[in-house]
Each structure stands twice: as C-alpha cells, then as structure tokens.
A and B are shown apart, each in its own frame.
Chain A
Amino acid sequence: MSGDVRGQAPCGCDAGAGEARPSAEEANAAGIHSARRWFLKSAAAFTTVALAPGVTLMALTGGASPSAARPPSQPASSGQRWGLLIDASRCPEGCSACVSACSQENGWKGTGHPRTDAQWIRKLTVRDPKSSVTRSVPMMCQHCASPPCVDVCPTGASFKRADGIVLVDKHICIGCRYCMMACPYKARSFIHEPLTDQLAHAPRGKGTVESCTLCVHRVDEGRTPACVEACIGAGHGAMMFGDLNDPQSEIAKRVATLATRQIRADLGLDPGVRYQNL
C-alpha cells in the first residue's frame, strides 16, 4: 500500500555507503543500476504517453499517496479540495470491490433488511435507452462544494470541512432526515436499527444519518480511501483520489485535460467526484 512505503528508502541500496570512496566494481554496478532505472523510467513514460486516456489510472494512483498526513493539531486546509475521478470504462459490472472495502473499512453491513440497510457506496448500472450501452460505476456522497445537505440541516450536523469533505457530526444529528430529502444523489442512509461492534474511526448510531466520509480518517493519515485502494488492488484502477486544487496532482491534470463530468452538474453543486467515459 502506498501509504506504508513512504517511510522506506526508494530502493534497496544501503544508504550508509557514502563514507568510503566507491570501488571500480561498485561504480560499475551503480552505473548498471542507474541505466536500468533510466530504462524503466523511460518505458513507463512512453507507456503513459502512448496509451489511451483512462488506461494509466491504475499506474498513477498506485504510486505515492496524493495526500500527506495531517497532524491532529492542524485544521483541514481550504487550500486542498479532495476529490475522486472515476473512469467508467474501467469499472466492470460484476465487480464490487470498492463496496466491500468501504463496508469493511467503515463497519456498515447488511442486516437482512435491504430497504433500510445503510449503503455508503453502491454500484450503479447506467443504461443508455437508445443504444442499450451500459456502464457500471460506484455512487457515493459526491462531496459537493455547495452541498444541499449542509444547507438544509437545522442543527449544523451536516457540515463541509475546509478541504471539501462533507461529513455528519454524529453528536448533534437529531435524525430529522431533511438532508436525505435534499441530497440529489441519494447518498445518505438513515440508521434504522440498533448497532453493535462499531469502529472507533467510523462512529455510527441508531437514529442518525450517515454517508461516505471519503475515508477521512485515512486521508488525514496521508492514505487513500479504501474504495480507491481496493479498486487498484482488484486490478481495475478505475478510481483516482487526489487534491483537485493542486494543479500538479494527477487528478487535477486529468480533470483539466480530459472530458470528465459531474453528476447532476445542472444543479450547480460542484461535486468533488467526477466521472469519465460515463
């Protein structure tokens, strides 16, 4: 996992060799390593440039995490806007790795009552009635810049962090469900039954509303959301996570250069989740 490798040296070389002058054999070996690295980098660059848009999502997101760990003492920064880019052409219909990962990471699961069970993320089958072409994409909280759920919440329990992540303060949610009425994405779930075995990083409670947190606990640790990681792990690489405000981030570059779309863009909510090839 990318977050775990950031503390290690970038290669397997011994970092303490700088005190002694390198021998001819060592220099030769270093040259070979250097040439190999150059070749691999060039090949990767060629692959990146040559292949069609969308194919490189996995390679790009499989590298270092686009977020850096944030000390708990520091507030979230409005300089960042976390978001997702989902490539529908790479999301297979039968795969639900992102859904399973989210469920496991955040502790929500079916209780045998499908109509009332929470679903933080779901697979959506989208069909064009004219061509019968279908696509399968994950749907979750779209983390809007102007979230209607936040506007309508009477107590302020629904709120948006400075970095664009939309959350529910479980301490002051009164369970009025007005946010569910207001959300155009049906992204929120009401907890209809008593819960047990909750996870410390994903507090939940009967009678309150919840939704995708963009795995805020992982993002704050400098890791990617569980769904993105699972999508990469499953070999699809259909989901990319990153900072939309950082022009150097891969997600921002893609959003700037590719034809991506926001769902219900007509509502002007500026969702942080974008879709490609939908």
Chain B
Amino acid sequence: MKRVAYCELRGGAGFRLVLAALGLVMGLGLASAWVMEHYGHVVTGMDNQVVWGAPHVFAVFLIVAASGALNVASVGSVFDRALYKPMARLSALLAIALLVGGLAVLVLDLGRPERLVVAMTSYNFRSIFAWNIFLYTGFLALAVAYLIVMMGRGLGGLAKPVGLIAFLWRLLLTTGTGSIFGWLVAREAYDAAVMAPLFIAMSLAFGTAIFILLLAALVWASGRVPDTALLVRLGRLMGIFVAAVLYFVAVQHLTNLYAAEHAGLERFLLVNGGVYPLLFWTVQVGLGSVVPLGLVLLWRPHSPWVPMLAAALVIVGGFAQVYVTIIGGQAYPLELIPGRQVSSSFGDGSIAAYTPSMPEVGLGLGGVALALVVVLIGVRALRILPENLTGDQAEVAAAPDARILHP
C-alpha cells in the first residue's frame, strides 16, 4: 500500500500577493465593523423589521459550509474510503477556517461585540442560540483535535474515533444552526422542523463545493494540474448533496403551499416578492442547483473545469438560498391578527425593503478573507497538502506516520 507524503505549500511572490490582497479585504472588513459599531447599525440596510442582514447571510453561509467542509475527512476516516483520506487534513483545516471566518462576522455584527465575554459567561440554556455557542466552540476544538491526530506521529489510531465524534458533532451543529430558524414560531418563513435537515444538506453541498475549488486552487499553486478524475468524483458527491438540498427545499415549500395560511408567504417568496423569487428560481434553483447537477451527474466531463464550474455555481446558489431564507423570511410581514389587514408607522403589514450596505458587505467579505487567510497560513506552515493526489489511486491510504517529503 502506498503511503501519502504531505508537504507545505511553497511560499513565493504569488503567495505573498494573494495573502496581501486577502489582508486588504480583511482590513476592509475590520473597517466596516468599526463603522457599524461607531455610528451604530443605522449605517446598514438593517432596521427594526429586517433585523438580520447581509452579515448574517455571510456568517450563516460560512458556518454551515464549515460543517460540510469536514465531510471529506469524515468520508475517509469514518466511512473508510481510501480515496478521501489524503485530503482529510485539508478538509479539517478548511472546516476550522470557515468556522472562524463565520463566527468573526457574527460577533462583529453584534450590537455590543465587546460584550462577547458576556455571551461566554452568561447562558440561558433554553436558548438554541446559547447551545450553538457550545456547538461552534466544540466543533472548533474537535476539528483541531482531529487535525492533530491525523498529523501526529503514533496518533493514527485515534483518527477514526475522533473523526466519528466530529462527524456526529457536525450533524448536531448544523441541526442547531437550522433550528435557530426552525424554532422561530413567530415567523411564517421559518417555524419548520425541516429547517434542520435542510441545513445539514446545505452544509454538505456548500462545504464540498468550497473544498473542490480550494483543492484545485492549491494544487495549481503547488505547480501541478488538478486530477480530473478526482475532481469529478468530488463533484458527483457534491451533486448528491445538491439534490438532497433541492429535495428538502421542495418539501419545505410544498408543505407551506398545502397550508392555506401560508399562501401569502409562498406567493411572496416564489412569485411576486421582487428580488426574492428572482434569486430563488434563477440563482438558487437554476444556476445553483439544476445546472451543477447537470454538469456533474449527467455529463462525464474530461476537464477539471467542469466540476470546478459546478462548485462555483453551487456556492453562488448557496449564497442566494441563504439570502432568500434570512432576508426574504424577514421582509414578509408578521401576521399580527390573522384575517385582518394591519398597518402602522412601524411597517406593520407591509413588505420591508432591504438593500445591503457597503459596511455589511465589507464585513461579510472580510470574514471570507479571514477564512482564506487561515487556510493559506495553515497550508504554508503545516504539512497539509498531499504531494500526489489522483482520483484513480483507490489503493492509496493515508498513514499518520507517513514518510514526510519536504518540497
């Protein structure tokens, strides 16, 4: 059985340039956060009806994707698929990075981010939000532990049990994130048990999509060409997850459509809600689901670009999905008195307008940049990347005490 050799990513002018560019975007994110905290959220597009805006779209997307990014490692460790084992380290690193990026955005969007210590010391255990704090920090710790046992000499035996715990934990984590919305009985767009499995499927699709693009980019950065067969296999795995997301989305909307009380909401989200139906049908369902499904499942491509294109589309569609879920769900007014039309100076009964502001988008992009910087520093400093990676080496198995080849 072949052993896998891991190496650090070579540094160079290109590496430094990318790092500097990402540093700039991070700086933009920090500046955005400062503007929001200094002047208050009045500088954002958020208000008293759309209380969670673009930063939450970025944060939820990154956090959900973090859980899914660990999937490649889980498939290798927990389900013993040898093909995926060499990529497990990168999978764990990406999970850590995405979670750090997402949490940074979430925290910096708080009205009082300096009170983070309060959130860590004062808990209301009836709150799913409080439970999520444990789920996120626990996931972070598990992913780090997973990475350590995969990389440490003589710790290889622990990879499977730690991987299994991490696998179960991330199912819990995404259930928790979905339940942040699913347990909101006040809002018609949420208040559904399907949100938990939907978020799990979303996490697997988004995380795998980001992993595909990152893997290809890092292989290129190492001066090699990504293996088409490997990317195609990862793309097909992603396709299964995208199909699962579509299934749960269909269940969610069909359930709502069956209940007459939700007809107005469904009309808003699917037909006449302006930007939301457009994003739903065109970007989320069309470009982000149907097209990638066609690319990876119905077609046997001979180019690494095809699964990469599919992955990019899944990411774009995923952003659209989270946007429609979070912003669209809030833009539709609360049903204060069923059967009556209500209006007020506080926007009751009317659709809320929301336009993301520069600081919001800047903060979100800063979180994405932070995640990528964590990945880049990780692959530069640690032996994360396998030296040789092809999709037809089914006999390849990752050995924690593998001979390390330096570049």
Residues of A with Cβ closer than 8 Å to B?
A: 113-119, 122-129, 139, 148, 150-156, 172-178, 180-186, 188-194, 206-209, 263-264, 266-267, 278
Contact = CB atoms under 8 A, between A and B. Distances in A.
Contact of B341 (A113, A118, A127, A186): A127
Contacts of A193: 39-40, 42
Given A190-B41, A207-B112, A115 B47 contact: yes
Given A148-B184, A178-B127, 6 more contacts: A124-B342, A124-B348, A177-B52, A181-B51, A181-B186, A192-B47
Given A115-B48, A125-B344, A180-B48, A263 B336 contact: yes
A152 B341 contact: no
A149 to B, nearest CB: 9
Chain B binding surface SS class: loop
A193 B24 CA distance: 28
Given A126-B342, A193-B39, A186 B49 contact: yes
Contacts of B124: 150-151, 153-156
A17 to B, nearest CB: 56
B174 interface: no
Nearest to B186: A184
B302 interface: no
Contact of B48 (A127, A175, A186): A186
B343 A174 contact: no
A119 B346 contact: yes
B270 to A, nearest CB: 22
A169 B116 CA distance: 16
Contacts of A182: 184-186
A105 to B, nearest CB: 19
B119 interface: yes
B37 A207 contact: yes
B51 A126 contact: no
Given A125-B343, A172-B122, A152 B129 contact: yes
Contacts of B129: 152-154, 176, 178
A192 B133 CA distance: 25
Given A124-B344, A185-B336, A177 B111 contact: yes
Contacts of B111: 173-177, 190-191, 206-209
10 contacts: A124-B342, A126-B342, A139-B348, A173-B115, A174-B111, A175-B111, A180-B51, A181-B51, A192-B42, A207-B111
A154 B122 CA distance: 8
A226 to B, nearest CB: 19
Contact of A175 (B110, B122, B130, B338): B110
B187 interface: yes
B326 to A, nearest CB: 10
B17 interface: no
B334 interface: yes
Interface residues on B, range: 35 or more
B345 to A, nearest CB: 6
A176 B46 CA distance: 13
Nearest to A119: B346
B118 to A, nearest CB: 5
A206 B344 CA distance: 24
Contacts of B187: 181
Q: Which of A125, A128, A267 has the most CB of B within 10 A?
A: A125
Interface in B347-395: 347-348
Nearest to A261: B337
Interface in B33-60: 37, 39-42, 46-49, 51-52
A177 to B, nearest CB: 4
A188 B47 CA distance: 11
Contact of B336 (A186, A194, A208): A186
Interface string B205-216: 000000000000
A112 B230 CA distance: 58
Interface string B175-190: 0000010011111000
A122 B48 contact: no
Contacts of B309: none
A150 B130 CA distance: 12
A186 B334 contact: yes
A90 to B, nearest CB: 18
Contacts of B183: 152
A192 B40 contact: yes
Contacts of A176: 110-111, 119, 129
B128 interface: yes
Contacts of A156: 122-124
B369 to A, nearest CB: 23
A154 B123 contact: yes
Contacts of B336: 124, 139, 184-186, 263-264
Interface in B111-167: 111-113, 115-116, 118-119, 122-124, 126-130, 133
B91 interface: no
Nearest to A268: B185
A116 B48 contact: yes
A128 B340 contact: yes
Contacts of B334: 184-186
Contacts of B39: 193-194
Contact of B130 (A114, A154, A185, A263): A154
A126 B123 CA distance: 39
Contacts of A150: 124, 126
B240 to A, nearest CB: 32
B330 interface: yes
Given A184-B185, A184-B334, A172 B115 contact: yes
Contacts of B341: 126-129
